[in-house]
Amino acid sequence: MRSSPLKLDQAAGLGGAGLRVVATASFTPRGPGYDPRARLRRRFVALRGGADAIVLGFAWRDRAVTVRVLALGECASEETDRALVTARRLAAVDDDPTEFMAMVRRHAVLGPLARRIDPRIASTPTVFESFMVAVVEQLVTVVEATASIRRLRSIAGERVPGAELRAAPTGRAVARVPMWQLHAIGVGSKRAVTLHEGALRADALERLRAEAPDVAVAKLQSLRGVGPWTANAVARSGLGWTDAVPVGDFHAPYTVTAALGGRDDLTRDDPKGADAAMLEVLEPFRPHRARVALLFERPPAATAGRRWRFPRVDPHRRAPWRY
């Protein structure tokens, strides 16, 4: 695998930021088939903005991943240690898929996919970041959700001074965004209420890392507006749970069941039946069901043999406000 240089250049938007390197570490990923390109699309990730900004810079060569912790202003040793832990989660270097690879090695569909697509599961810097994304993605198209998340980051995420980077919004920052402004960026009333409630409980969400994953999923669903789909999405991308299942998803129950069970008779008129069929075909792959679903989401598996037509979204549409 080609190496990826780590340079603080103008192209990365960090040339004039005045960041200094406060720590450097190299990680050797566990297990076979590590592909940094599957998760390190952003070479620089802002963990915190403002006068005390902290940024992670990633590079790799062969199997080794190098990370530098860059700081502007004060950065205590405890903060540096937390930044390195976060870097390991983002790079998924501690997620070992060896058991899963052995499980699917002779599988006609999953075996070739797992050899081409790295099935490791990374996790976001904070659980609230994953929660925010999952809530905004509820009940709307990918196009609408992506636009709303981008706008929310721009109004609530803190910028790194002198750079183009912006840290993900904190719970405290999102809690201060008024309902009318959430509506204006395409987050409807129901989702906005759920988002605010999660923002006020951002510290409690972070403590879910210490819970067993199934307990964390149950606690997430105690929040108003959080169902199985959202809870499992947060468990996978926020907690790195390898057995989270995308029940209630608009696509997964049909694509996974068709690929693994050969069924093409499922209809969107019976979503519960589609979920049940998906759970049935995924059962043999516990505790790695999230990895199976992930293989069908990432290219080339997600696009094999298909010509995707993205939904048209009227720029004046107001429907997302109702959901």
Rounded CA-CA distance 98/118 in Å is 11
Tens of pLDDT, residues 270-305: 889 999 999 999 999 999 999 999 999 875 544 444
pLDDT at 193: 97
Which pLDDT band, with edges at 50, 70 and 90, does 6 fall under?
A: low
From 57-61, 210-214, 276-280, 316-320, the region with the lowest mean pLDDT? 316-320
Cα–Cα dist 110/100, whole Å: 10
In order of start, what are the domains of the chain with their CATH numbers? Answer: 10-94 (no CATH), 127-237 (1.10.340.30)
pLDDT given at position 310: 42
In this prediction, residues 144-159 reach a mean pLDDT of 96
Helix (H, G, I), strand (E, B) or coil at 76: coil
**Average pLDDT in the 167-189 region?**
96
Q: Which of 31, 36, 110 is nearest to 289 (CA)?
A: 110
CB 288 within 8 A of CB 242: yes
**CA–CA distance from 98 to each of 118, 223, 240, 242 (Å)?**
11, 35, 16, 13
Contact (Cβ atoms closer than 8 angstroms) between residue 149 and residue 136: yes
Among 236, 214, 234, residue whose Cα is nearest residue 225: 234
Q: Over 90: is that where the pLDDT of 261 sits?
A: no
Beta bridge partners of 58: 67
Which H, E and C letters describe 145-197, residue by residue? HHHHHHHHHHHHCCECCCCCCECCCCHHHHHCCCHHHHHHCCCCHHHHHHHHH
Average pLDDT over residues 132-150: 94
Q: Tell me the C-alpha distance between 237 and 244, whole Å.
A: 9
Secondary structure element (H or E) that encloses residue 16, with its range: none
